[in-house]
Structure formats: C-alpha cells, structure tokens
Structure 1
Amino acid sequence: MPLATELRERFNIHPDPGAAVIALAGNPNTGKSTIFNALTGLKQHTGNWPGKTVLQTQGTFHFGGKKYILVDLPGTYSLLANSAEEIVTRDFLCFARPDATVVVTDATCLERNLNLALQVMEITSKVIVCVNFIDEARRKNIFIDVDCLARELGVPVVVTAARNGLGLTELKAGIDALARGQIVTSPRRLIYDPDIEEAVARLEEKIPGEIKEWINARWLALRIIDHDRSTLDNIRQYFKVPEWGVLRERYKYCPT
C-alpha cells in the first residue's frame, strides 16, 4: 500500500481514486463550520479521530468535474500540541498531507487569526487563506486589502461571507486550482534569530531523506529545537525511525 494511502487511512480518510483531500483549519468562532456545511451540504458524516474523543467531520463536494473530500479539523489557536485538538490538527497536516488546506480567518480580527495561518504555512505550502465575515468587517468600516495580504503571505486569499453564500464559488475555484497544481505558492517564511537559523540549517542536513520527502524539514528542525517530543514520537511511529533518545543524541540541538 502506498505510504500516502496508508497514512490517510490511519485518520479514517478513504478517498476514492482521483478524489482530493482538503483540510479546513481555523480558530474557533471564525465561521469554519458554516463554510464546511455550505460546501458539503448533506454529503457529510461524523465520528471520532482515531484514539481521541475529538469529533471528526468529513464531507464531499464536486467542482470542475473533480471530487473533493473536505475534512473539518478541530478549531484551534495554534499547532503547539498542548491539547487534543492541536495534536489532531498538527498530525493530520503532517502525516495525512492534504492536497490543500484552507485556513479560515475572521475579517473583523484578522491579526489574531494569522498566527495559526503562519503556523500552518510552516508545515505545508498548499494553503489558501479564507477571510470570512467580510460583510461584518465592512459594516465596521474595516477594509481588507486582499491583494496586499496575498502578496505578504505568499498564498491565495479569498474573502467570504459564508452565511450569505458570498465568495463560496471563488473559494471552491481556489481550492480546485491549488489542488490541481495550477497555483504555485510561496508561503511567507518566518526568520528567527541568527543562532536559531544556524541551528535549523544544520539540523535540516541531518534529517533522514525519507522524512524530508514527507515532512517540511525546516518545520521539523524547529520542533526538535523546541523539544517537541510529541512530534518526534509520532514520526518514530509512522516512519519507524530511531527512538527519542537516539534522535536527541543524533541532532544534539534538543534542550535537556
């Protein structure tokens, strides 16, 4: 069984041949569930994430003759794996490798939501940012320069008012283009202090090639520096790499 299929099935994702898997991420109260329901309609089902009490919701929609499986990830403020919701979201983005990820944000408090968007963009480049509640933002005289935001983030940006159906066709078109590889993104890269950047560069060179092919090596190097044992344990589980102690000794940069 191909690795992509095997890992997705561990998350209870069983796509039909030719179907694309799309992740829907975002902070709580950004209208993410409204967008999910609007895109999938009645073509959805729920269950639990494997080994978690966190609810998993999947649905489907079609666009441009292609089937899309939309996975509604738990609402979360970060990917630092301090809660079950954060662990589920992080692991799905890392190991299930969706064909595209939509990060839903609230136009009325955009700066607060971009933290998660930037974290997602450290894991995957296949990101589209959805700025929801644009109708409420306009009522509050908040102006979003969509073109400027897209340039700054390096990924497509679509505005929506999901409750009114505004922008949903444009969102589907953006998802379709991104999943088909018709859009090439260049996510904004966060630059850290020089000593951290030096450590990241040296760590990236030591990460095994089979892991680099699947997980963003820069993001993984940052997790090693951050002593993120949860991530390393899951990598060991999925890729059968050495245990944590051996990894720490190999990389030398994990804090004690």
Structure 2
Amino acid sequence: MEGNHLSRTETVIALAGNPNTGKSTVFNALTGLNQHTGNWPGKTVLRAEGKYINQGQVYNLVDLPGTYSLLANSVEEQVARDYLCFGKPDTTVVVVDATCLERNLNLVLQVLEITSKVVVCVNLMDEAKRKNIIINIKELAVQLGVPVVPTSARAGAGLDQLVKTVSDVAGGQLKPTPRLVQYDSRVEEAIQKIQPQIQKLVGDAYNSRWLALRLLDKDPIVIAALEKCLPGQQDSKMKVGGELWA
C-alpha cells in the first residue's frame, strides 16, 4: 500500500461505523503507528487520526466515534454527523459487521443521505463464515448504489482492495450513485418546497436534501452549524430559521 514518493496534498477519509464492528481494527491496520489522538474541539469525545500512503498519495484517516445513528441523540452521534456534513471528507468508509448486517445498514443509509462518496466495508467476514452467514456482496453493492468491500481486518484480508476502492472513489475514477430513502409523499413534497432555497444558500458545498430533512425536523444543532458555515451571511439565522419555514 506504500508508494515511493509522497504527494503534497492529503486526501481525507472518514471512518464511520457502529460500535463493535472492528472499525478500530481497520483503522489500526491501515495506519499502523502513524496516528495520533486528541479530543474533538469543544468535546470530551476522543478524536483519532492516522495516515497511510497509497500510490504516492497521503491519506489522512479520521476515525469517527462509533455510533448506531446520526440523529444526534448523543455527543458521539453529533460529532460524527457534523463532521460528515460540514467537514466534507473526500470519501467516507462505513464499517459494518457481517454477522449482523441488517442492524448496521441503518447507519449506512443515513450516511448515504449526507454524501454519495461512500465505500461500505463489510468487516468480520471470517466470523460470518463461522456462523454460516453468506452475504451477496455484489447484490448489496447494487442495492445500495455504492461499492462494497468484504474484509477480515484482524487477518488483514481485503484491506488492499479496500484501499484501492477508497482511492478510486476519492479520485473520481469511481462515482457511486447511492439509492436514497424515499419518504412518504408529504415529506417529499416539503423537501421539494424548501430544498431550492437551501441550495441558493449553500450552493454545492453541502447536501441540500439532507439539510432540508434536518430543517424539517427543526434540528437546532444543524441550524447552528449551518449558520457558522455560511461565510458572509450575516442574516443567515433569519434565513435558515425563518424563510425556509415559510
């Protein structure tokens, strides 16, 4: 996974997943000793980052807190969600447990609402094999609309393919087209009504559909974060909190 020459520009990769999926094992296997830890700004939640090199390109891997959801019911969920939306990583890897895939897919679908540049890492494939669990990886990729890579991180199996796939997505050679959750007609109509106004505010910098969903929920954390991310918008509070509700 290492090249001979370093690139000047780092590619940022977010690593997300439920607790106990082997996410930390994936992180350690890719970054080795090239990592450091601290806290997220203003939080007591641990932040771990590490680097690895592939084909001369430096990749900065940001290990997000393990979460079951991105609905910001906890500090960990808030940190993970805000980073995925406002930190704008070049690619997000979502690590899922092959032995309880259905439960883990909830987080995958939520991440896909924020960003299309996603790679799903189905980890613990060795455990699944021991339990006689068979996963159709190709069909899962078709259903999700994003690349899916099977791994057994403890044994190092599948990690080379994961690194290559991440590189292809981050570099634009592979362009995922995720299948998004469709809500009932009333919600979809509301999204269509306010999404164009959000698009005018944020342009292509952020996912306007996801922001529309969060604003429909009157999510105060997202509203506050959005205001901070709108440079030069002195009246953004009025626009975000008022105009979009009209």
Tell me, yes or no, whether TM beats 0.5: yes
1:250 to 2:243 alignment? yes
User: Per the alignment, in what secondary structure is the counterpart of residue 93 of structure 2?
Assistant: strand
1:213 to 2:204 alignment? yes
Q: 1:45 aligns with which of 36, 61, 71?
A: 36
TM-score, reference length from structure 1: 0.90
Q: Kindly provide the amino acid, as one letter, of the partner of residue 25 in structure 1.
A: A
State the match for 1:126 in structure 2: 117
Q: Kindly provide the amino acid, as one letter, of the partner of residue 42 in structure 1.
A: L
| Deviation of 1:213 (Å) | 1.5
| Deviation of 1:129 (Å) | 0.1
State the match for 1:166 in structure 2: 157
1:135 to 2:126 alignment? yes
TM-score, reference length from structure 2: 0.93
User: Per the alignment, in what secondary structure is the counterpart of residue 102 of structure 1?
Assistant: strand
Instruction: State how many pairs are aligned.
Output: 238
| Deviation of 1:153 (Å) | 0.2
Q: Kindly provide the amino acid, as one letter, of the partner of residue 248 in structure 1.
A: G
CA distance in structure 1 between the partners assigned to 2:156 and 2:242 by the alignment: 53
Q: Kindly provide the amino acid, as one letter, of the partner of residue 47 in structure 1.
A: G
CA distance in structure 1 between the partners assigned to 2:11 and 2:238 by the alignment: 37
- After TM superposition, which residue ranges in structure 1, 4 or more long, deviate above 3 angstroms? 240-246
Q: Structure 1, unaligned stretches of length 5 or more?
A: 1-15
Q: Structure 2, unaligned stretches of length 5 or more?
A: 1-6
Q: 1:87 aligns with which of 78, 88, 95?
A: 78
Aligned identity (percent) is 55
How large is the Cα RMSD of the aligned pairs?
1.3
CA distance in structure 2 between the partners assigned to 1:246 and 1:161 by the alignment: 48
After superposition, what is the alpha-carbon deviation per residue over 1:184-230, rounded to whole angstroms, capped at 9, x for unaligned? 11011111111110110111111153513111111010001111111
Any residues of structure 2 matched to 1:1-256 within 5 Å, and which? 17-240=8-231, 241=233, 242=235, 244=237, 246-252=239-245
CA distance in structure 2 between the partners assigned to 1:246 and 1:140 by the alignment: 53
Alpha-carbon distance change, 144 to 208 in structure 1, aligned in 2, over 3 angstroms: closer
1:80–1:86: 8 Å Cα contact kept in structure 2?
Answer: yes
